[in-house]
A = this chain, B = another copy of it.
Amino acid sequence: MFWWNGVLAPTAAAAMNTPDPLAHVTPEVRQRPAPQALLDALAGRFEARFSTARAVREQHGRDESAFTTVPPPAAVVFAESVADVQDTVRLCARYKTPVIAYGAGSSLEGHLLAVQGGISLDVSRMNRILRVQPEDLTATVQPGVTRKTLNEAIKSAGLFFPIDPGADASLGGMAATRASGTNAVRYGTMRENVLALQVVTPQGEAIRTGTRARKSSAGYDLTRLFVGSEGTLGVITEVTLRLYPLPEAVSAAICNFPTIADAVDTVIRIIQLGVPIARVELIDAHTVALVNRHARLQLREQHMLLMEFHGSPAGVKEQAEAVQNIAGEHHGADFDWADTPEERTRLWAARHNAFFAAVQSRPGCRAISTDTCVPISRLADCLLASVAEADASGLPYFLVGHVGDGNFHFGYLIDPGNHDERARAETLNRQLVARAIAMEGTCSGEHGVGLHKIGFLRDEADAGALAVMRAIKRALDPHDIMNPGKILG
């Protein structure tokens, strides 16, 4: 077996006998060869839907993470059906070759990188909405359907699917990473909103993990096991989702605060009082400035909460009044309301584009994203200590947060070729994760583990829990062909 080690240059730090801040996040690259016989068999089976073209492979060998230099997969298969997925997996199983499912390519933690070589299985053409059952508030979709496509399709039935990670991600990928986003404070995450899956196992069998019943106690919760398993236990080929009636009234507001602490304390109080706010996002003053430039907005460049209320007209009014009172107690300035759908869309687009606004503010940079999530009472402490560290580092960064869940993201903007910047960013990340874990939080609220957080997961989970995860992986995928090298390393 050929080993290709050291994607990132070894550092002088190790030689100096101090901990290498990159050791924790340097992926192990171990190229398992894809036998020619496998490539021939896939080419024969898929013809024009099989590609070994360099550009296609390179496009499929990366994601939105700051990992850029892992060799691409050996080939790409474009699946259009469950049978395509099964045949690809069976062929790969025969040759013990890795399979990496690929949806929209919007993951953030190196999930898609072929660290052990193998075949990228692109399911983006499996993009049919198979069934919408408005009377049951459910939909079943193929994994390549994106969340925006689904929402467009169900709008006329008065329904929506709330999980909104920002990117127009594929619903298969969102299930695979247990995604959430801005609406999670009210509607939950993919954990709560996937009713059932069809999954192709590492043996190539298509199984169903549940039914369309809203709840079930019938056996082990395979749905929740595959949600968040990042393609390491099987390939998701159908997703059955919970839908929600479009709220009768929606209102969005922004409110500025003199300090981040004031904004965060406002959110903590909103949650503790049980106000059913649908979205409550923090954007720090510096990031508001980036967003203004990128989206040509004139938002006041102060720390800001961006909020949305869903309900009946009276209910929305009541929620908004309660929140205004709370914000007033924490030095919140007057609310600016966005009541028309157009205004709201513009505001949320700006929020969602914060990542790109930040990345474009420094040409050629990549963002190293943090994703910690802590109990709400520790949010201010955790966030403010990390802001101080980031400010002291001198690295440019952005800061946004789904603060209603205790989840926030720093994005450290680094020159990917600059070892020192990368090391400084990862030191900040590591300090933040250590702090979050000490506060009974998690290293990943919604992005998943991928490559980037393998070391952090080992810090967070106890050895026994990791052993259980490994036992499950070994039992279901004994030849380690499903997205190997991710989550558990």
Contacts and interface: CB of A to CB of B under 8 A. Distances in A.
Bin the interface of chain A by size.
35 or more
A385 interface: no
A462 B218 CA distance: 12
A45 interface: no
A215 B465 contact: no
Nearest to A229: B220
A259 to B, nearest CB: 20
Interface stretch (A117-125, A390-398, A453-461): A453-461
A245 B322 CA distance: 15
Contact of A191 (B221, B475, B476): B221
Given A207-B465, A224-B221, A462-B208, A135 B215 contact: no
Contacts of A188: 192, 215
Tell me how many chains of this kind the complex includes.
2
Contacts of A440: 211-213
Interface in A243-282: 244-245, 247, 268, 271-274, 276
A216 B221 CA distance: 17
B135 A376 contact: yes
Given A318-B314, A460-B211, A468-B476, A244 B377 contact: no
A184 interface: yes
A201 B453 CA distance: 25
B218 A225 contact: no
A213 B462 contact: no
B272 A137 contact: yes
A418 interface: no
- Which of A229, A244, A460: most chain B CB closer than 10 A? A460
Given A211-B460, A215-B405, 13 more contacts: A188-B215, A207-B467, A213-B406, A213-B442, A214-B406, A214-B407, A215-B407, A215-B445, A219-B466, A219-B488, A220-B233, A221-B228, A314-B315
12 contacts: A136-B375, A178-B217, A206-B464, A207-B465, A212-B375, A213-B442, A214-B407, A220-B225, A220-B487, A221-B227, A225-B472, A471-B475
Interface of A: 133-138, 177-180, 184, 188-189, 191-192, 201, 205-222, 224-225, 227-229, 233, 244-245, 247, 268, 271-274, 276, 312, 314-315, 318, 371, 373-377, 405-407, 437, 440-449, 453, 456-457, 460-462, 464-469, 471-472, 474-476, 487-488
